[in-house]
Structure 1
Amino acid sequence: MKTLMRAGVLSLSLAALAPAALAQTVSAPAPAAPAADSMFRATTLNLSGLGEVDVAPDMASINLGVQTEAPTAQAAMQANAQQMSRVMAALNRAGIEGRDIQTSNLNLNAQYDYVENQPPRLRGYQASNQVTVKVRDLSRLGAAVDATVNAGANQINSISFGLNDRSQAENQARQAAVRDLQAKAQLYAQATGYRVGRLVTLSEGTSYSAPQPPMPYMAMARAESMKDSTPVSGGELTVRVDISGLYELTR
């Protein structure tokens, strides 16, 4: 793993102390300043920082399915169900548990032939059943893909990678973000002749990014004729935490 730091957004607010109160013409005490006004009576820094951690994924999600056509809707759905049952069984044999297989799309559409100057002619029906498969062990990923293609899956739409447990990577990114924020606060305080007093507020956001190369269907469909399992590379995920903080400065 490697930790990266990048520059963030800065806004610097320097407010002069309020002038001395004018002499009172009556003996009644002056009203207390509103709490919200206290920020404007101090010098503050409003900064943002970020922390990034690159980590290898340990799980993947694949969207795949079966598409069939037949002269009638019933025949198209029946053929699709039979073919999809074989795909499900193949996934189970490849070590994928039922809790990690979820139906994501089910469609039945009429198919027409169009000829110029003639009404559309019904050719038949197309049934499509797609599932999202979570593979928790990446060593099983290539074998799982091959097994589904061999069993009749003819649609592989996408693959994405992730982490089974994101907490460790997130915490590392948080620490890096805090170091980035503190370094900026020290730098700007020194540059303006102040010292960092206290951290007033802190907020964060978390994101993940990983370039996902396209996975062409034809390359995947040829897997049934290959002796070796389909090679799939997970690359690295970038876990990023963005934070913002408000510091109070002192002389």
Structure 2
Amino acid sequence: MSRSVLTAALGAAMLATVAPAPAFAQVQPEQMVQPAPSLNLSAAGEVRLAPDMATLIFGVVTEAASAAEAMQLNARRMTGVSAALRRAGIAERDIQTAGLSLSAQYDYVQNEAPRLRGYQASNRVTVIVPDLARTGEVADAVVAAGVNQIDGVSFGLQDPSAAEDQARRLAVRALQAKAALYAEALGVRLGGIRSLTEGGGYAPPPPMPMYRMAAMAESMDASTPVSGGELTVRVDITGVYDLER
């Protein structure tokens, strides 16, 4: 190959190397979509009303030298308690065994081995009293029949749905009022509600300890007085509202 031909070939190769690349369309990054402004708030509605039912928790505790004797003695007393409940008008569906136990009882003397004293049987029952006014009467009847342990009493509602619905309305009104106030303070318009969640609702209070029941007795001759007071039905809600500029 001649020098002139070699020079021409090298020049062509260099031109091909430095030639600009074909133009491509520039890809624009996608615009970030900003979420619409919103308002996240919570509110509650409460309704206070008197209970219309009570729940008694009581039991029979017996002790004997042998386990079989302790259980038999307990069974006889519980049979009498069940009869007293029926005479008081308590339906079978409102009586439930809450606990049944049998345990050995020991005497402990320092520096001596434990000495078996006997056995203790316990039968605990939960009873619903649908007529609140008769709660004291029922308590007296079961004690007279052999109950020697009262764990407590609690008060409730047989049908809490109406109170819950009223609490929901109050909660929604409070939420709407709060949302309108925030929108006004921010200088924006309140849009529609995006979501609504609910929490809370009716929950029966825990049983009142037995020492409080004893404190309510005015005299040994009178029926045990029971005061139900008031219950609180509370519904909590959380709502998300759109805001319009």
1:31 to partner: Cα distance:
7.0
Q: Which amino acid aligns with 1:55?
A: L
Could you list the runs of 5+ residues in structure 1 that have no partner in the other structure? 1-24
Q: Which residue of 2 aligns with 1:18?
A: none
Q: Which residue of 2 aligns with 1:106?
A: 100
CA contact (8 A) 2:53 2:155 kept: yes
Seen in structure 2, the aligned counterparts of structure 1 residues 218 and 72 have a Cα distance that, compared at 3 Å, is farther
- TM-score, normalized by length of structure 2? 0.83
CA contact (8 A) 2:106 2:115 kept: yes
Given the alignment of the two structures, is residue 122 of structure 1 paired with residue 122 of structure 2, yes or no?
no
Q: Which residue of 2 aligns with 1:137?
A: 131
Seen in structure 2, the aligned counterparts of structure 1 residues 217 and 210 have a Cα distance that, compared at 3 Å, is closer
Q: Which residue of 2 aligns with 1:219?
A: 214
Q: Which amino acid aligns with 2:153?
A: I
Between the aligned partners of 2:207 and 2:96, the Cα distance in structure 1 is 22
Q: Which residue of 1 aligns with 2:12?
A: none
Between the aligned partners of 2:231 and 2:63, the Cα distance in structure 1 is 39
CA RMSD of aligned residues (A): 2.5
Instruction: State the 4+ residue runs in structure 1 displaced beyond 6 angstroms.
Output: 27-33
Q: Which residue of 2 aligns with 1:19?
A: none
CA contact (8 A) 1:111 1:125 kept: yes
Seen in structure 2, the aligned counterparts of structure 1 residues 84 and 217 have a Cα distance that, compared at 3 Å, is farther
Could you list the runs of 5+ residues in structure 2 that have no partner in the other structure? 1-23
Given the alignment of the two structures, is residue 191 of structure 1 paired with residue 188 of structure 2, yes or no?
no
Secondary structure at 1:216's aligned position in 2?
helix
User: Residue 70 of structure 2: which of 56, 60, 76 is its match?
Assistant: 76
User: Residue 47 of structure 1: which of 31, 41, 64 is its match?
Assistant: 41
Larger Rg: 2
Q: Which residue of 2 aligns with 1:173?
A: 167
- TM-score, normalized by length of structure 1? 0.81
Secondary structure at 2:210's aligned position in 1?
coil
User: Residue 200 of structure 1: which of 194, 199, 204 is its match?
Assistant: 194
Given the alignment of the two structures, is residue 247 of structure 1 paired with residue 225 of structure 2, yes or no?
no
User: Residue 65 of structure 1: which of 59, 62, 68 is its match?
Assistant: 59
Q: Which residue of 2 aligns with 1:157?
A: 151
Between the aligned partners of 1:199 and 1:150, the Cα distance in structure 2 is 60
Between the aligned partners of 1:175 and 1:246, the Cα distance in structure 2 is 17
Q: Which amino acid aligns with 1:219?
A: A
CA contact (8 A) 2:51 2:228 kept: yes
Seen in structure 2, the aligned counterparts of structure 1 residues 59 and 32 have a Cα distance that, compared at 3 Å, is farther
1:227 to partner: Cα distance:
3.5
Seen in structure 2, the aligned counterparts of structure 1 residues 237 and 211 have a Cα distance that, compared at 3 Å, is farther
Seen in structure 2, the aligned counterparts of structure 1 residues 86 and 212 have a Cα distance that, compared at 3 Å, is closer
Within a 5 Å distance, the mapping from 1:228-243 to structure 2 comes to 228-243=222-237
1:139 to partner: Cα distance:
1.7
Q: Which amino acid aligns with 1:97?
A: A
Post-superposition CA distance 1:211-248 (Å, at most 9, x none): 8654328838x89x834321000000000000000000
